[in-house]
Amino acid sequence: MGACRMRPEQAIRRARRLRKKPTRAEEFFWSLVRDKALDGLRFRRQVPIDFLVFDFA
């Protein structure tokens, strides 16, 4: 299984694109956890870490 590795700046651009066009499931999830609504925890969406983009952290 080969992974396509991105440079960090490419990961940042991809994360921004993903944030602008969420899926319906993502919109629903974020509506539930917005404004620390889940036990006061804070979540970040589409976080670029090195060459990967994590859906939430």
Over residues 2-56, the pLDDT tens digits come to 456 777 788 888 888 888 888 899 889 888 888 777 788 888 777 887 777 777 7
What is the C-alpha end-to-end distance of the chain, expressed in Å?
A: 25
State the CB neighbour count (10 A cutoff) for residue 6. 16
Given this model, what pLDDT does residue 30 score? 84
Given this model, what pLDDT does residue 1 score? 45
Give the pTM.
0.55
- Scored b (16 or more CB within 10 A) or e, 12-38 reads eeebeebeeeeeeebeebeeeeeeeee
